[in-house]
Each structure stands twice: as structure tokens, then as C-alpha cells.
Structure 1
Amino acid sequence: MNPLPIESVLPELKEALQSNACAVLVAQPGAGKTTKVPLALLHEPWLEGQKILMLEPRRLAARAAARYMASQQNEQVGQTIGYRVKNDTRVSVQTRIEVITEGVLTRMLQNDPALEGVGAVIFDEFHERSLHADVGLALCRQSQTLLREDLRIVVMSATIEAEPVAAMLDDAPIIRSEGRVFPVETHYLDRPVDGRVEQAVVKTIQHALHIHDGSVLVFLPGAAEIHRVESALTAMKLGKEVVIAPLYGNLSQEAQDQALMACGPGQRKVVLATSIAESSLTVEGITVVIDSGLMRVSRFSPRTGMTRLTTVPVSQASADQRRGRAGRLGPGVCYRLWTEQEQRQLPPSSTPEIRDADLAPLALELAAWGVPDPAALVWLDPPPAAAYQQARELLVQLGALHDGGGLTPHGKRLAELGLHPRLAHMVLQAVPLELGAMACELAAMLSERDFMRAARDRDADVRTRIEALWSAARQERDIDFGLCRRIAAEAKALQQSLGIHPSGRERAEASGLLLAFAYPDRIAQRRSTGRFLLSNGRGAVLPELQALSNERYIACAELDDNGVESRIYLAAPVQEEELLDAFDALMSREQEVLWNRETQSVKAKHIIRLGALTLKEAPVQDPDPDVLLEALLAGIASESLDLLPWSRSARQLQMRVTFLYRFDEDWPDMSDSALLSTLGDWLGPHVYGIKSRAELQRLPLTGILEEMLSWEQRRLLEEWAPTHMQVPSGSRIPIDYSDSESPVLSVRLQEMFGLENTPRIAKGRVPLTLHLLSPAQRPVQVTKDLASFWRDAYFEVKKDLKGRYPKHYWPDDPMAAIPTNRAKPRT
């Protein structure tokens, strides 16, 4: 067997670790670092009598690496080489190398900060930058600094920028292995994919099977896309020689092994994988890679407190990792389902999970570690402040932290369970209610993807899932049986670890209360059929009519955090009495005096609230008059001044004063916005004790507005902004002040005969805008210059009007004519 590329740098790595506590190893995919480095360090003098922990980001990779190293030693897994992953441990007293997943390292550090008996911790595939890896490295680094100067830390990766990691590790030496990557011919699309990427994937798989030899590795964003492509390929009947093998994290171990192993004679394989196959794993026989260019990541929103899965383009580093899978055995081919222009727009590397993750588990881990402030540790990327603060607030709400940030006894118990703090809190709250066994089942279920995902659009009810776990007859349901069995096994393991036994009192109807313990910020109250208000103030919706749509209260475990109303994917009903009994400490009790838009009156009531939800309310008979006044004025401000009894005279007075205020700010500002902003000053004294719109209608609004004017201003008002203007015909025509910049006088043209110039107001400063009307009261001319109209435009207008109104008086000389409000002037 040819030596692996990593073997040429192993002496350099050993030498570095003789004199340094840390090292960074950069090696290309396929170099052999995952399986060769731990074995190479096993007999170093500084490791004598101690073991190596190697962290892998995924359970599948951890098991595969341990099995391969054990086979190299001609041993069974669990002897010299073993592994620890969730609910699956293969180690013994003779185990010297333990391949573990990252969460396991955190538990080990919390139980023994000095890591007694451990001589080295290796972080493999660190470029993936999972939250657990970042936390584990930060904690290991502090343990090394304070407790274990002899502890070695090795960070290994294929694509990471090594210098920042080395700087974090006290300028650790960097060892580089160029690797052995065969040339990979890379093909791009001419134009972006139109429609679902699965169609392009299936077409490319057909092409690759026809053109190339060997097996094909296809990268897709998630299990749903994998199943759709698998169904399409199965329907094509590609032949017995083509084996279709899905590969993703929630598959059974047997199915994962089937995807990784070599094909039988005369066969070739199409492996449909998520990003799980980017690194660490070796998929036998691959010569062709087809990359959809997409990956699915979790994004946490501090704004809503919810995490959602989103599909995003891969980074350039991930794309290179994927392409490298085709060049491990010999020259290969990679089909990238995007254009070269799109390639140039991809981000250089993936975003570290710590920037986008729900940080509640991290905040609990750090509190248990004794450093609630993350600034006490050294990070490659520190936790975002907003998300971390929200995580701490949630832990305070769950009773895990004191207001000052210290861990409570309850928080200590949560940290020991190794579950998400929400789920751990749910389990511990359920035990005294004799619902602990079902809480463990819910915790296991909510830690995995939905095993009834195909049915979730028409059934979001968690009770259905609980009953499916309990039922032996599941054939009629849309269930992923393998995942269902694994959830049941994980629930049983959790029950055993806590010493919980089914009480016989468990009932699916209690699942709503249990979800409410885990998600107190997602308790929801029905607003209308299928529409809910969450206790955190957000909206939520069940688009399809179903059993939960008309429940008064539900507790939501999963929502999508899209749009104004988040779509509810998993929830269960909870009773008001259960909420009042179980969440008394989170309830707020207050007296509320508010304007009620429906009744158009001020209502005073005692209210019991849970976050944004109103659970109970009762009327208050005699509220404080000052509070009553404040609520009334707030109601008027919210509904606009239309609540007041505006008569024609009141509105005209307002507009006249607003007109004068433009020229002289000694006049009060009576615009709607100004009146609304000063309600307490001019209206407050007149509405003390009033509770409703009906009572407001009895107010003398004109007189109230006049009180805002001085005696002198009242006198000048008629002179400077008259209500009417007497025109040459003798008529008193009202002036329209609705446009405060250009008051309008609408008058029949015939009534203005003999008047040479435009009438003016505001001490002669403002000409009226004249709307000169036909006998039918329709404008025939709008002007501020009457003299110009008589001189230049009248004769054309006269021709038109004389033709349409021949019985009316249309003199040749308007200045010498007799003004009239009739068809013809009286003789």
C-alpha cells in the first residue's frame, strides 16, 4: 500500500509536540490525518499512561474513524481504539484513543476540568467551526493554561486559515501537508439552475453514469432533496448494477455503512449525501462528484428567539472539499451546478456556527464552567452579544440562572443532563407530575427531525407523534420508522439515566403542558381560526385547518420564523388552568386603564398576563381619575381628532387660525398634528371625568378652540381671516381655508363683474385663489390675478360660456358690466 501524504509530516508534528503544548496541522482531504495522526502519537513519551481524545463533528465520522483505526491494529473497536457518541459507547479499560463527538468533550470537561488521564485532545476537521468545537477549544485552552500545562492540543483541518488558530494557541507551530490529490476536471453550468435543483441533479447523474466509470457522490442540501432524487432515480430503473445509497446523519447505522462501503463486483454506486460527506469520511470508489452547491444550516434570530433551517450556497472552501472527493483514488470529475460567475460570488469560507446559533446551551455551559462572561475565555470568534444576552434571559426565565448570572441549583441539574436547557427544564418539571417518562420521549423527539415530516402540513399536533411512539400499529401513518425507533431508544436511555419509570399516568394530552415548560416564550393564544399570538409577542399561524386550529391555547415547539406570522410545525394544546397553576411565577398582575376601540370608551380592568398574552381580566369600578384622563387622551391620540364633535364652525375656526399661524407664530398652531400633541393642554381641563365618545360629543368644541386665542386675536380674526367675502353682486361667499397656503373663494364669474383686482386677506398679504364658476357651478378659470383674467382670458371664456348658456348675461366689457347672481342683471 502506498504511504499516505500525511506520513511525511508526522515526524515534524511529533517534534513540535515534544517542545510545544499546541500544534496546528493543515492537510488536504485524503491526506490521512484523521486515522494516522492519533496512531502516530500513541507511543510518544509525553503521552505515557494517558489517552488521546479526538473530536469529530459527526457521529458517523467518529464511528468510521474508530473502526478504521481499530482494523489497522487488527483489533475490535473498544480495545485500544474506541468511540463515544450520543447513546453509543465502545470503550474499555485498555482504550488509549477515544474518538468522540464534540458534545461529549464538553461533558467530560464539566465533570473533570483537568481531564485527568488525558494527554492530548485532537480537534479534527476544525474548519467546520461547529459551536461545540469552538466551545471545546476555548475550555480546553483554559484548562491547559490553569490546570494542565502538560496537556497537548492539536487542531487539524483541510481548509482553515491556520494563522488565527495558531495565534489563539500561543503562536503554536503550523505543520502543513500538501497531500496527494489527483487532478479533478471541473465543469460549470452555462446558466443558473431554473427551478428545483433536484431536476438538474437527476439530469447530471444520468449524464455522468453514461459518460464516466466509477461511483458518483452527489451533494444535496438535506434529506428531503435526497429522497426526491432517490425516487426519481428509482423510477428510471437504472439497472441492478447501479446502487442508490442515501447518506445523512439521521439514517440508521446500517444504512450509513451501506453508503460508505465498496460496491460489489460489477456494481457502481450513486451516493446521495448531505455535507456530512465533505470531510472525514471516505466513500469507496468515488470518481465523480456532482455538487448542488447548497447546504442547510441553522440560523438563530435574536429578534424572535427562534431557530430555523435555511438553505444557503456553500462556501468556496466547502466546494473545494467536495470536489476533492473525486480525486482521492485517481483523476476525477466534478460537476458544479452553478456558473463560473456564481463561483466567484461564493463566500470564501463558511460562517462559524457560533455567529448564527442558539446560544442558550453555550450560556449554560459557561455558567456551569464558572465563567458566565464569555470574555473570560479566549475565542476565535466571540459569541455575538445580542444572542448571548437573549440566551441568558431565557435561562433566567427557566430558573437556571440568578439575575446576576450565577448558576442556580436548578441550573446545575439542567447542565448535567446534556440536553438543550429548554428540554432539560421540561424533563425536570415533569418528574414531580409523574410525567417524566413522556417528557423524556418528547425531549428525544424534539432533538431529532420530525419523523412525521410528510404529514406536518396537515397535522402539527405533537400528541399524534406521542401516540405513534406508543402504538405498535403505525402502518397507516406517514412515519420514518427508523427514526421513530431511534427516538424511542434515545428516550429509553434518557429515562434509565435519570432513573425514571413510566408512571402509568402519562397521557398524550399532557404534552401541551410539557411543551409549555420547554417553550414558555412560545405559549400561544388563539386570535382567530388557525392564527395565534405567541407570549413573546410574535404572530403564528397554522395554514391548514386541523385539530389545533381552534384550540384556545397551544404551546409551540417548532416554527419557521418567516414573515409576519411564523408557520407552526409542531405544537400541542394546553389548558388555561394548567398555565395559571404552572406559570404563576411568570405571570404579571396589573390594573390597566385603556381606551377600547370597539366600545369607543375607556375601560379599566385587572389583568393577568403571561408575556404578551392576556389570560384573565376583570373590570375595575372606580379607577383613578387622573389615570382615566390619561387613557382618554391616549385614545383620542390613537384614533385621531375625529373622536371630537367637529361642527362646521369648529373646523372652520381651526383652518382660519392655521392659515394665520403661517404668517405669524404668535397665533396658536391648530393643525391636527399640533392639537394631537398638546391634547392635555387645550382639551384636558374640559374632559376630566369623561369616559366615552358619547360623552365627548357634548363638548362645545368651537368654544374650547376659541379659548386658545387671546382677546386681541379673537378681534383680529374676523378682520384678517374672515369667514366670508362680500363680492360685487352683493353675495356673501364663504372662504375655504382647507389649503392654508391658498384660501379659495369659489364664486360665479358673473358676480365678479366690475371688480378689477383679486380680493386679499391677512392684512392684504395673501390673494385669494379665485375659482370662477359657470352658471352650473363648475370652475371655468382658477386664478390669483383677476385683472389679468379680465384682460387676457375672459374673452375666450366668454365665447364658450355664451355658446353653452345663451340666456345668461355675457357683456363685452366685464369691468363696466353690472355684477349679478342671476342669469341677467335686473334692469
Structure 2
Amino acid sequence: MPLPIETILPELKKTLQERTCAVLTAEPGAGKTTRVPLALLDEPWLMNKRILMLEPRRLAARSAAGYMSASLGDKVGGIVGYRMRLDTRVSPDTRIEVITEGILTRMLQHDPGLEQVGIVIFDEFHERSLHADLGLALCLQAQSLLREDLRILVMSATLDADAASVLLEDAPVLSSTGRSYPVETRYLKQPAKGRIEVEAVKSILSAWTDEEGDMLVFLPGAPEIRRAARELQANLSEADAAVLPLYGSLPQEAQDKAIEPDRAGRRKIVLATTIAETSLTVGGIRIVIDCGLTRVSKFSPRTGMSRLETVPVSRASADQRRGRAGRLQPGVCYRLWTELEDSRLAPSSSPEIAEADLAPLALELAAWGAQPEELRWLDLPPEAAYRQACSLLRQLGALDACGAITPHGRRMAELGLHPRLAHMALRALELGAGGLACEIAVLLGERDILRSTPEGRDADLRLRIEALRSSTGGAEREILPVESGDQPGRVRLPGWTANGGGGQDEAAEMRIAGTSRADAASLPRLHAEAARWKRELGVPRSEAADAGLTGLLLAFAFPDRVARQRSTGRFLLSSGRGAEFPEMQRLSAAPWLVCAELDDQGAESRIYLAAPVELEELENHLAEAIETEIRTVWDREAQAVRTRRKVMLGAVTLREGLLTRQEPDQVLAALLQGIRLEGLGILPWSRTSRQLQQRLHFMASADNEWPDVTDDGLLRTLQDWLAPHLYGMKSKNDLQRLNLTDILGSMLPWEKRRRLDEEAPTHYTVPSGSRIPIDYSNAQAPFASVRLQELFGLSKTPSLCGGRVPLTLHLLSPAQRPVQITRDLESFWQNTYFEVKKDLKGRYPKHYWPDNPLEAVPTNRVKPRKPSL
């Protein structure tokens, strides 16, 4: 049947004859995926070289290869073949290879010039996957430096064609209309509430009676698809309705079944993820029910982790989904959102490069020998995420300190696995556990094969490994992590007992983990994929690694997620973040874990997949990542300097202990730091030393040539005035041996000591002959407290600091109670003394109260002594 794209094929051929780059936009249903490669097969510039066409998804790649082969009357693997990870159907006769995007990167790394390739076609480029952006950037550089004749064609239905044209140096833009029928669009009157699959089922059941034809229902992911399928199967007759799931991790047979017409002639209800949004034509579809949501992976440079988020679809995606209803006949699209919500949709989705884990991209660029800024991109990789990726690669040994790829990194890049898993596989091979690494890799590459129970989800990855190893197809298998003998349908985990696991009783363990069920449909496919990886890595058939090594292998892949227990169910990751189990389970009591799946929401990540690991395993096999830290610090609890040796894996302490041997300089530095923390009060101050400090401060207040001996000033200069006296000391008790009076005095040269004694004496001798101590606690007004009678005959106020500062006098009664404070003694005698005398004479009649104090005899007694004859 002629397709709309055929009208533009002559112009496309002419453009590629004259130019090496082009952009083709074609509406859904135009036929670009299957007609363009065939139309270019005999072009003279191709010179019998191959055509590579990239498809974002494996199912679309297989479907496109099958359709083109059938149109040529050939089989897949003949003129048209496909190539994807662990699944290749090509031959020497193959001229068109439909490949998934990661394959292009592998081909470029091995053959940068793509010498046997005439054109690379990027299909559905609007999806902007990480591999598509990287593949295009590498192809453009290869074209610029090595292959001027290499053609590049970018095809899409919703791409910003102008931006792509600029990237391809003003490449021509060709457009084709699609072949579609009218589609009626229906919206909800009120926003959907609750689980979206519940609203979807309502719409499905309504459309089932109101409309004719097959349905394509878009849901965010596999969990929603399963729940919707169960509800539909309970409400519709199996004889009338074929309820078929369609998502990426399904076996190929199940995917093909969803695409093809039902063999029994029943109406189909295909429950699909975004896998059915582009490229695929699901036969018989006339009704589309769109939940308006999609699930995307978002990477957080802050935590180094990715998480799945459910977000609204973009305008472009919503229109792609709607178009599925009008591919073959007029249709109807039920949108499970309101028209107001529809007006708020973003025009297009964010490119994966802006939100994804960039470790795979960073490894590929290192193997290519380029930095991001040296290549041409539609969107440059975000700097923070790229730095985080390079940091991880250095931690995995893939990059050296200068950022260049290492031999180990090249081996990692050749595997085509995520760098974490590639590193794990290579290290596992050295330990004779390559097969176990392959099993872990396939399990982590898919959704969880164990379903949650009402009690929660058991996070132990070893359960999944045992389920995978025991898979033979058939019914779902009950996975019990207990010693269960040879009971049918149960998997025995070596070394686990019914009463083990952190003090929980047997019944509790059965409730927590005893009802998990493995997804029987996925197990055979995953088992076969693991077997292919084992062959790819050259794992010996005789190898049989115990699942007990799971934790260690995870530590190779996730050295930043080694976790030490802080309390039951709560852990500290080597990255520095906290983590916890959503619900209590046997791993909650494990002293050491490695976490394979976490989220990064909230203060502490939730652990969804993990395995226990032994401390000795970490120390023996992660030595290159372990650092020994010896720190001499002030221990506030012990009030002493302690030297601790810590063996660290990132932020996690593996071992620590006290060392008796200490370096004197480090002890001194720690002791000084302790004094700063505790304050000068930790030192043995006496009345004499405090007075000396105050006298010095008084002199400094009047003359800035004197040292700053305030508490703050002394703390700032500990290294200068105190450190020389601290050698050999390491605790508060040792500090009590210090003589602070001598130490403070040693801060002054001889001349200043003399001046200090003259201008800031410790005592003042009053006319009675008594030596009265001077209080310098107030540097602005030093004072002496003296009984009034001892000052008789003293006409002027005493002074300090060479006469510049008057001494404040606190005049006391005979009972040592203050009666007057003055800094002008002369004025006191003239104006105030007589009023004070009246009061004191009344209270102390036996004491001596002369009328003329300036001529009276001073005394420290009740009355002055009579002069001896």
C-alpha cells in the first residue's frame, strides 16, 4: 500500500546525493521507518555499503526489520537484519541493519570511521535518548575528521527541525505529512483522583460498550498495567476480550502477541507504556485511552542516584499517542485529564542527557578521547552531572587522576554494560564469580522480579538470584528465605535458618519474607539473558559461585553505597547519606550492607534492593578505595588529646582504635585546639595570674604598644605565648602544672616589666601605712577599697599609668561598707566629708572623726595611736 512518505523520497534521494546531512520530519503513519532505508538501498553514493538505522527500543527495531524483510520477500537476517545487545540477526548479505542505540557507540569505538557504512539514520530522534545524542555527536565528529562522505539522516515526527538543521551545519529540512484518519478527543470534566489505573479501567469499560474496535491504553509502568489487567479480567469475559500487556521487559513472544491481531478474533485491549508511542503500529487499534503520565529516570548529582518519577506527558507525546487511534480508520482518544490541564502541558519532554546518569556517556567519551565541549550537541551534558560521572569512573578505576581512560576502563567500555556493572563483572571474573555477576546484572537491568506483599517487600537481592537460578517456567514460585527442606515450590537459601535474622521470631520472619512471589513470566527470559552474558564474558561452565558473594560483587559496582548499620533498619552509606528500610525485615539487623537500589528523597534514602557483606570482604577486595586516617584530636569527653586510627571507606568507618604513639607536634596542635574549644577557663588561673592579666589589659587600654591579653586576644595568640610551655602535656590534668603568672610575665621585655610595676602596681600604700590591693577588673577605672580613716591627710587622688589615670577610691566605713566612691579626693574632703562624718559618727561614736581630715592623723584603728614621749 502506498504511504505518504513516498511522495518525498525523490527529493530525499536528491538531497543526499548532493549533501551529507539531512533532517526529515514526518507525521506518525507516514512510513518513514520502513520505507526510507529501502528507498536508499540502491543509491550510487552508498557504493554497496551498509545502512545503519537506529531505533530507540528493541521491540521497534525487531518490528521494523521484520516488516522490511517481509516487504522484500526475505527473512530477517538476510538483506535486512537487526543488532541489539545479546541478540543479533545479520549475515554477510545484510545491507540494512536496524540497531539499538548502544550498538552504534560500540561500532564507533571499534571503527571510528564506520568504513563499511554509507549512512547512519537516527529514527525517532525526538525521543532524545542519551545514546542517540551521544551517537549523533560521535558520528558528526567522525564525519568531520575521518569520513567526509558519510551520510547522516535525522528523522522524527516532533523534533525541533531548525535546531537539528543548525547542529548539522544548516542541513536541508524535508517534511512529509502522515496518513491519518480523524480522531475525536474526549477529556474528563473533573481532574482524575486516586490511582490512575482505576480511572483508566472506568474509561475502558465505558468505551468497551460505546465504541467498536481494539484499544490501546497508555499507563505509566508495569505495576499499573498489572493492576489494570487484573481488574479488567474480573469484569470482562475472556472469550470476548484479550487483555494484553506491552512493556519493555516482557518476553518477545508476549510483545509480539500484543502487536499482532488476536488469533481467536477477540477485541484487544493493549495496556502499554511509552513503548507503543512511536515506531510501532499495533494492529486494529481504533480507541486510545491515555492516562497522560509517563515514568522517567532522573539523576541527582547531589546524591549520585537515579530515581523513577511519574510526570505528565508533553504536548508532543500526547499528540503521538492520540495519533495511534487514527492510523487505520477514524478513531477516538480518551484523555484522562481536563481541557484546562491539557493547556498546561509542556511542549516537549526534557532530553535524557539533561536528567540522566552520565557515567555511561563519560566512559564512552573517555574511550573516544574527547571532552564534551569538543563535540557538537543539541544540548551539552550538564557540568555537575558530568563531574559526578567522572568521579565515579575514577572510583571504579576506569579513569586515572588526569581523566584519561585506563586499560581497565577500556575493558569496561567494550562490555556494553553500565560502568558499575561492567566493573563488577570484570572483578567477579577474577574471583571465579563471573556467572553470579551476570545474574546480578540482568536482575538490576529489569524491574524487580519479586512482587511486594501486604507486609512489604523483602529487599534481599539473594532471593532474586535463587529465584532466577531455579527458574524453569510455569507457575509463579514461592520464595521462602528459610531452611525449608525439599518442599515443592520453595527455594532453599544456604546458611539461612528459620529463627535467624536479628532476633526476630520464626513467625515474624515468615510474615516479612515468606509470601514473596517471583514473576514467573520474566524468569525464563532473564535466565536466558544471563546465560548469554556468561557466554559473552567467557564464564566457565563449571563455575558455580555461591549467592553469598552477592554483597561483595555489589560492593564492586556500588562502592559509594556500602552501608554500615547505625541502628536497626538505619544505615550510613559510604557516600555520606543516610538510608533506611521502608519496613522492618531480616536485613534490617545486618551490620554491613551494599545497596543496589535506593531513592534519594527525604533526609534518608529508602533501601529497595541490597545484600549483606562481610567486613573482611570489604577490607580484602576494596583495598584501593579504603583510606587509613590517623588523627590526633582533643577528646572533649576525656578532656585529653587522643590519637585515633580510622580505616575509612568513604564516609563509613570500617575500623577504629586509639594509638599510644603520638607525634609531639600533632599533640601540641590538638591540645591548643582543645584549649580553644574549652576556653581559657581550662587553664589553672590563680588570683595573682588573673590580676596580672588585668594589669596588662589596663596598660594596653592606655597604650596600644602593650600586648592584647583579653581572653579573646590570648586565645588568638595561644601559639605565641602558651605553646612553648605545653610540650609533654596532653590533658587537662597536665595543664594544671602551668604557672600562668610566670608565663604571662614572660611575654614582657624587662623595660615593660619595670613600667608595669611602676604604672600599674599591685597595691597602693595609703597614709595609714596599709598596702591596699588595686582591682584592675575594669580597665577604664581601676579601684582600691579602703577605709576612710586611713586616708586622713591625703589631699589629692592617687593616680596610675604615670599620672594619666586617677585611681578610683571606694571609701569604706569602719565596718568595711562602702560610703562613697570618688576619683576626686580633694573635692570629697571639701564638700562631702562633713555630711558623711555626721552619719558615721552617729553609727561609730567610738571612732576618730576629726573636723579637719587633711590635718588629722590617718589610722587603721578605732583611734590613732598616741605619740610616744
- TM-score tier after normalising by the smaller chain length: 0.7 to 0.9
Summarize deviations over 1:114-140 as a string: whole Å, max 9, x none: 222221111100000001101111111
1:464 aligns with 2:463: yes
8 A contact 1:720–1:761 mirrored in 2: no
- CA RMSD after TM alignment: 3.9
Establish whether residue 145 from structure 1 lines up as the match of residue 136 from structure 2: no
Within 5 Å, give how 1:27-106 maps onto structure 2.
27-106=26-105
Aligned mates of 1:264, 1:642 — CA distance in 2: 90
Deviation, 1:696, is 7.8
- Residue by residue over 1:611-653, the C-alpha shift from the partner in whole angstroms, topping out at 9 and shown as x without a partner, is 1122222322242344335435556767x76995999x9xx99
1:271 and 2:273 correspond: no
How far off its partner does 1:242 sit? 2.2
Larger Cα Rg: Structure 1 or Structure 2?
Answer: 2
Q: Identify the residue that residue 336 of structure 2 maps to in structure 1.
A: 337
Query: Is the Cα contact below 8 Å between 2:435 and 2:544 reproduced in 1?
Result: no
Structure 1: which amino acid aligns with 2:164? Answer: V
Q: Which amino acid aligns with 1:253?
A: Q
- What residue number does 1:12 align with? 11
Q: Give the equivalent residue in structure 1 for 2:221.
A: 222
Shift of 1:283: 1.3
Residue aligning to 1:432: 430
Unaligned stretches of 5+ in structure 1? 726-758, 764-817, 819-827
Question: Partners in 1 of 2:684 and 2:181 — Cα distance?
Answer: 85
Match of 1:513, as an amino acid? L
Cα offsets for 1:42-64 (capped at 9, x unmatched): 12222232221111000011111
Q: How far off is 1:532 after superposition?
A: 1.4
Higher mean displacement: 615-624 or 373-382: 615-624
Are 2:367 and 1:365 equivalent residues in the alignment? no
Q: Distance in 1 between matches of 2:711 and 2:324?
A: 70
Decide whether aligned partners of structure 1 residues 414 and 762 sit closer, same or farther in structure 2, where only a CA change above 3 A counts: farther
Deviation of 1:681 after TM superposition, in Å, equals 8.2
Choose 117-126 or 582-591, whichever is displaced more. Answer: 582-591
Query: Which residue does 1:443 correspond to in 2?
Result: 441
Q: Is the 8 A contact 2:554 2:595 kept in 1?
A: yes
- CA distance in 1: counterparts of 2:714 and 2:280, whole angstroms: 72
The alignment-based identity, stated in percent, is 58
Q: Does 1:557 align with 2:600?
A: no
Q: Work out whether 1:498 is the aligned partner of 2:537.
A: yes
Normalised TM-score (structure 1): 0.79
Matched with 1:476 is: 478
Change (3 A) 1:225 1:718: same
Tell me the equivalent position of 1:383.
Answer: 381
User: What's the counterpart of residue 801 of structure 1?
Assistant: none
Amino acid at match of 2:13: K
3-state SS of the aligned residue for 2:417?
A: coil
Match of 1:99, SS?
strand
Distance (Å, rounded) in 2 between the aligned partners of 1:761 and 1:464 = 89
Secondary structure in 1 aligned to 2:137? helix
**1:481 match: secondary structure:** coil
Q: How far apart in 1 are the matches of 2:201 and 2:664?
A: 73
Task: Pick closer, same or farther for the CA change 1:669–1:366 going to 2, 3 Å.
Answer: same
Q: Distance in 2 between matches of 1:634 and 1:237?
A: 76
Within 2, Cα distance between the matches of 1:664 and 1:116? 88
Name the structure 2 match of 1:166. 165
Residue 510 (1) aligns with residue 549 (2): yes
Corresponding residue number in structure 1 for 2:799: none
Q: Who is 2:402 aligned against?
A: 404
List runs of 5+ in structure 2 lacking aligned partners: 480-516, 761-773, 786-819, 825-838, 840-869
Structure 2 contact 113–147 (Cα < 8 Å) conserved: yes
How far apart, CA to CA, are the structure 2 residues paired with 1:434 and 1:166?
Answer: 51
SS at match of 2:620: helix
State whether structure 2 residue 277 is matched by structure 1 residue 299.
no
**Cα deviation code 1:265-309 (max 9, x no counterpart):** 763222111111110011122222222221111111222221221
Q: Deviations over 1:138-185 (max 9, x none)?
A: 111122222222221111000010111111112111000122333322
Local SS of the residue matching 2:576: coil
- How much has 1:719 moved relative to structure 2? 9.2
Report what 2:572 is aligned to. Answer: 533
Alignment partners' CA distance in 2, 1:460 and 1:760: 80
Distance 1:49 1:426 in 2: 41
Q: How far apart in 2 are the matches of 1:198 and 1:761? A: 90
Residue range with higher mean Cα deviation, 212-221 or 18-27: 212-221
Question: Is structure 2 residue 645 aligned with structure 1 residue 606?
Answer: yes
Partner-residue secondary structure (3-state), 1:540: strand
* TM-aligned CA distance change 1:486 to 1:722, over 3 Å: farther
Aligned to 1:615: 654
CA pair 720-94 structure 1, distance change in 2 beyond 3 A: same
Structure 1 residues 678 and 27, CA gap change in structure 2 (3 angstroms)? farther
Deviation at 1:458, TM superposition (A): 3.7
CA shift for structure 1 position 222:
0.9
Counterparts of 2:3 and 2:745 in 1: how far apart (Å)?
96
Distance 1:665 1:315 in 2: 75
1:54–1:123 Cα contact (<8 Å) kept: yes
**Secondary structure, in 3 states, of the residue corresponding to 1:276?**
helix
**Cα distance change of structure 1 residues 553 and 598 upon mapping to structure 2, 3 Å threshold:** farther
Distance 1:642 1:313 in 2: 62
Q: Quick one: structure 1 residues 643 and 491, their matched pair in 2 at CA, closer, same or farther if it must change by over 3 Å? A: farther
Q: Give how far 1:602 is off.
A: 3.5
Offset from partner CA, 1:690-732 (integer Å, 9 cap, x none):
6557778999999999999x98998565597999x9xxxxxxx
How far apart are residue 447 of structure 1 and its match?
Answer: 2.0
SS at match of 2:452: helix
Give 3-state SS (helix, strand or coil) of 1:23's partner: strand
Matched position secondary structure for 2:423: helix
How do 1:735-814 and structure 2 match up within 5 A?
A: none
Deviation at 1:664? 12
Q: Structure 1 residues 643 and 452, CA, compared in 2 at 3 Å: closer, same or farther?
A: farther
Contact 1:298–1:308 (CA<8 Å) still a contact in 2?
yes
Give the letter for the 1:516 counterpart. A
CA distance in 2, matches of 1:378, 1:761: 86
